[in-house]
């Protein structure tokens, strides 16, 4: 082939290469668009895990659940609060006076894994850990519901809070708890057979 013939072929070859590259790019773009832009998770993608729910229904010795109750905001001498904590090995209720948490009474009871399992699964069925996560000022309990009661529920691992939800008896301060507070608080209270006696002693203490 002479030089003039070769020179005529070069532009044709270049055009063919450009067309092939363009077609390849268009096919790739079409696949991306029709597959949802790659936003669909792969079949083996890990689903979102509710860490609070997982901690609630884990019944090993490292995990526990806790309920905190706080009464109306009054003078330090008359302010009252209590805590019920339940683990696979023990149940405790402690009552307090004053904002510094001076202990009034404390009762500790044994527990076992089967009893704990039934309890936390009852809490799970009551949707204890299905609340709305709040942050910043929306999650600040200082001074909230001054004339009513505040309830706080937590799942813990080795005394570290995994997830916490709260609510109050005041209108406009629903908090982050989605569960029925009466239902879940009674489940906690029934873990302590002497709950009523301890509560009455707390409110009657001068």
In the chain, where the domains are located? 1-36, 51-204
Q: What pLDDT is attached to residue 2?
A: 55
Q: What pLDDT is attached to residue 39?
A: 46
Phi, psi of 182, deg, nearest 5: -65, -45
pTM, full prediction = 0.75
The token duo for 64 is 């526990």
d(CA 152, CA 154): 7
More confident residue, 100 or 14: 100
Looking at residue 137, the DSSP 8-state letter turns out to be G
pLDDT tens for each residue of 63-104? 999 999 999 999 999 999 999 999 999 999 999 999 999 999
Q: Are the C-beta atoms of residues 162 and 178 closer than 8 Å to each other?
A: no
Q: Categorize the per-residue pLDDT at 172 as very low, low, confident or very high, splitting at 50, 70 and 90.
A: confident
pLDDT at 35 over 70: no
Q: What pLDDT is attached to residue 44?
A: 47
pLDDT at 62 over 60: yes
Q: What pLDDT is attached to residue 18?
A: 58
> 2-10 contacts: CB < 8 A, separation 24 or more?
none
Mean pLDDT of 10-27: 61
- Strands (E) across 25-137 are located at 63-70, 80-86, 90-97, 102-110
Residues 6+ apart with CB under 8 A from 134: 175, 176
Buried b / exposed e across 104-122, counting CB within 10 Å, b at 16+? Answer: bbebeeebeeeebeebbee
Q: Categorize the per-residue pLDDT at 45 as very low, low, confident or very high, splitting at 50, 70 and 90.
A: very low
Residue recorded with tokens 């013939």: 5
* C-beta atoms surrounding 99 within 10 Å: 13
pLDDT tens for each residue of 90-142? 999 999 999 999 999 999 999 999 999 999 999 999 999 999 888 898 899 99
Q: Categorize the per-residue pLDDT at 60 as very low, low, confident or very high, splitting at 50, 70 and 90.
A: confident
Q: Categorize the per-residue pLDDT at 51 as very low, low, confident or very high, splitting at 50, 70 and 90.
A: confident
Instruction: Look over the chain and give the mean of its residue pLDDT values, rounded to a whole number.
Output: 86
Q: Can you list the alpha helix ranges (DSSP code H) found in the chain? A: 3-34, 51-56, 113-125, 181-189, 195-204
Instruction: Tell me the three state secondary structure of residue 150.
Output: strand
CATH architecture for segment(s) 51-204: 2-Layer Sandwich (3.30)
Q: Categorize the per-residue pLDDT at 36 as very low, low, confident or very high, splitting at 50, 70 and 90.
A: very low
Which of 24-33, 75-84, 127-136, 172-181 shows the highest mean pLDDT? 75-84
């Amino acid at each position: 082939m002479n030089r003039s013939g070769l020179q005529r072929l070069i532009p044709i070859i270049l055009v063919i290469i450009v067309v092939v590259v363009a077609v390849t790019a268009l096919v790739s773009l079409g696949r991306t668009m029709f597959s949802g832009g790659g936003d669909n998770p792969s079949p083996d993608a890990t689903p979102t895990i509710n860490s609070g729910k997982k901690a609630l229904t884990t019944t090993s010795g490292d995990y526990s659940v806790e309920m905190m109750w706080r009464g109306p905001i009054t003078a330090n001498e008359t302010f009252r609060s209590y805590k019920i904590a339940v683990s696979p090995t023990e149940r405790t209720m402690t009552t307090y006076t004053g904002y510094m948490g001076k202990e009034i009474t404390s009762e500790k009871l044994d527990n076992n894994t089967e009893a704990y399992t039934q309890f936390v699964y009852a809490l799970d069925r009551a949707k204890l850990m299905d609340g709305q996560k709040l942050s910043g000022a929306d999650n600040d309990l200082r001074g909230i519901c001054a004339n009513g009661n505040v309830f706080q529920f937590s799942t813990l691992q080795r005394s570290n809070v995994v997830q916490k939800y709260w609510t109050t008896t005041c209108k406009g301060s629903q908090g982050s708890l989605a569960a029925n507070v009466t239902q879940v608080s009674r489940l906690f209270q029934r873990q302590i057979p002497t709950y009523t006696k301890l509560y009455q002693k707390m409110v009657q203490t001068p």
